C-alpha cells in the first residue's frame, strides 16, 4: 500500500514538473513570438511611413526637366523621403503666381522671372544651370535677314520672361530699342503657330518652341542670336524657387529636395547619360526622345561638386549680381539688392554635406 501511494505521489510530481516545463517553454516561445511580431510591426511601420509631398511647377523643356525627372525616376526623391507631384506651366511668372495662391510649393524658373526674386516675391534655394535656350529669330520671307531688319517689324516676345530679356539684348546690340519695332506680347507656346501662319515677322522663343519653328519652316526661319552670344556681358541663371514663407517653415524639406537634385545632376550632367535623361523628359512632355535630345545644348549642365565649388568661391553669387545689373540697365528692376537677400546659399551648402 505504501509503495502504491509513493508511486502515485511520484507520478503526480513528475506530471507537475512536465507541466511546469511545458509552461516555461510556452513563455519563452511567446516572448520570441512577441519579439518577432514587434519587429514585423516595426518594419511595416517603416514601410508605410508617408513621404513628404512637394507640388512642383515646371516648364515643358529639357532645361527645366533634366534634373527633376531624373531625381524622380532614379528614386533620389524617395531616398530623401519625398514624393513629387509635377505640374506643367508655360512661364516663370505664372508659376510664381501659382505658388502665391498656394497651389504649388516649388518651381523651376528661367532667367527672366528672376526679377520677381529680386523684388522679394520668391527665394532662390538652388541654382541649376546657366541657360542657352533662348534666341531671337526672324522670317526671311518677311524681309528679316538680320537683327537690324527687325526695325519696324512685328516681333513677338513674352513679357517678364527670358524671351523679353534676350530680345532687349539683341536690339541693344544693334542700336535698336523696343520703340523701333512693333512689339507683340504673347505666350511663348503660341509663337510657333504665329510664325508658321506668318502673322508675325520675328520672335524671341525658347526651346523646344524654337525647334518646332525651324522644323516647320526650314531655312525661312533664321536664328540670329542666343544666350551664348552675350556670355561676355550676361549671365542667365535658371533656379529653383519657393515662397519666402515656405522656405522659413520647410528648411529641412528644401535641403532634402536639393540633395535629391544634386544626385540627379551628378547623373544627368554626364554626356553618356543624356539619352536616358532625354527619355525621362520625353515621357513627361509627351514628346519623342529625339526632340528632347535636340535640347541637350540648351544649358551648361554641371555636377553638384561643380556647383558647390562655385557657391563656395562666389561664382554663383556673381551670376546673380551680373543678372541684376542687366535687369537694372534694361529698366526691369528699380534698385539693386544684396544677392543674399533672396538666394539661400545655406540650403545649397547644407544639401552638399
Give the pLDDT confidence of 224-283 residue by residue, as tens digits: 999 989 877 888 999 999 999 999 999 999 999 999 999 999 999 999 999 999 999 999
Average pLDDT over every residue of 37-58: 69
Pick the more confident residue, 172 or 45.
172
Q: What pLDDT was estimated at residue 48?
A: 55
Q: What pLDDT was estimated at residue 232?
A: 79
Say which residue the cell 556673381 belongs to: 318
Pick the more confident residue, 17 or 113.
113
Pick the more confident residue, 303 or 17.
303
For residue 92, what is the enclosing H or E element?
A: helix 92-101
Global confidence as pTM: 0.78
Q: What pLDDT was estimated at residue 1?
A: 40
Residue 304 and residue 262 in contact, taking contact as beta carbons nearer than 8 Å: yes
Tens of pLDDT, residues 276-302: 999 999 999 999 999 999 999 999 999
List, in order, residues 6 or more apart from 152 with CB less than 8 Å away: 180, 181, 182
Q: What pLDDT was estimated at residue 15?
A: 41
Residue 315's Cβ-count burial label (10 Å; 0-12, 13-18, 19+) is: middle
Tell me how far apart the alpha carbons of residues 101 and 103 are, in angstroms, rounded to a whole number: 6
Q: How confident is the model at residue 7 (pLDDT cuts 50, 70, 90)?
A: very low
Question: C-alpha grid cell for residue 89?
Answer: 506651366
Q: Is the pLDDT of residue 41 over 50?
A: no
Residue 241 DSSP symbol: E
Question: C-alpha grid cell for residue 298?
Answer: 540648351
Q: What pLDDT was estimated at residue 231?
A: 78
Tens of pLDDT, residues 140-152: 999 999 999 999 9
% pLDDT > 70, the chain? 86
Tell me how far apart the alpha carbons of residues 9 and 126 are, in angstroms, rounded to a whole number: 84
Q: Is the pLDDT of residue 46 over 90?
A: no
% pLDDT > 90, the chain? 82
Residue 342 DSSP symbol: T
Amino acid at each position: 500500500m505504501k509503495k502504491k501511494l509513493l508511486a502515485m505521489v511520484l507520478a503526480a510530481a513528475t506530471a507537475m514538473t512536465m507541466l511546469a516545463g511545458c509552461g516555461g517553454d510556452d513563455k519563452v516561445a511567446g516572448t520570441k513570438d512577441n519579439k518577432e511580431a514587434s519587429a514585423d510591426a516595426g518594419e511595416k511601420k517603416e514601410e508605410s511611413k508617408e513621404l513628404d509631398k512637394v507640388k512642383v511647377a515646371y516648364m515643358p523643356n529639357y532645361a527645366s526637366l533634366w534634373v527633376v525627372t531624373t531625381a524622380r525616376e532614379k528614386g533620389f526623391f524617395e531616398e530623401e523621403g519625398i514624393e513629387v507631384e509635377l505640374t506643367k506651366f508655360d512661364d516663370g511668372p505664372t508659376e510664381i503666381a501659382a505658388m502665391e495662391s498656394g497651389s504649388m510649393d516649388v518651381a523651376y524658373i528661367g532667367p527672366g522671372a528672376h526679377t520677381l526674386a529680386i523684388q522679394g516675391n520668391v527665394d532662390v534655394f538652388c541654382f541649376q544651370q546657366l541657360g542657352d535656350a533662348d534666341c531671337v529669330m526672324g522670317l526671311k520671307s518677311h524681309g528679316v535677314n538680320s537683327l537690324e531688319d527687325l526695325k519696324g517689324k512685328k516681333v513677338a516676345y513674352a513679357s517678364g520672361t527670358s524671351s523679353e530679356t534676350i530680345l532687349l539684348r539683341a536690339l541693344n546690340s544693334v542700336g535698336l530699342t523696343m520703340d523701333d519695332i512693333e512689339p507683340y506680347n504673347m505666350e511663348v507656346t503660341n509663337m510657333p503657330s504665329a510664325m508658321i501662319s506668318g502673322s508675325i515677322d520675328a520672335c524671341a522663343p525658347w526651346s523646344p518652341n524654337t525647334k518646332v519653328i525651324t522644323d516647320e519652316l526650314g531655312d525661312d526661319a533664321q536664328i540670329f542670336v542666343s544666350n551664348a552670344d552675350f556670355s561676355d556681358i550676361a549671365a542667365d541663371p535658371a533656379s529653383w524657387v519657393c515662397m519666402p514663407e515656405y522656405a522659413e517653415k520647410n528648411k529641412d524639406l528644401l535641403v532634402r529636395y536639393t540633395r535629391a537634385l544634386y544626385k540627379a545632376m551628378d547623373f544627368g550632367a554626364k554626356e553618356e547619360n543624356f539619352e536616358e535623361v532625354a527619355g525621362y523628359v520625353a515621357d513627361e512632355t509627351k514628346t519623342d526622345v529625339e526632340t528632347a535630345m535636340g535640347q541637350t545644348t540648351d544649358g551648361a549642365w554641371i555636377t553638384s561638386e561643380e556647383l558647390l565649388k562655385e557657391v563656395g568661391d562666389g561664382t554663383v553669387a556673381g551670376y546673380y549680381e551680373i543678372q541684376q545689373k542687366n535687369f537694372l540697365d534694361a529698366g526691369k528692376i528699380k534698385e539693386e539688392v544684396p544677392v543674399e537677400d533672396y538666394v539661400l546659399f545655406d540650403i545649397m551648402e547644407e544639401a552638399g554635406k
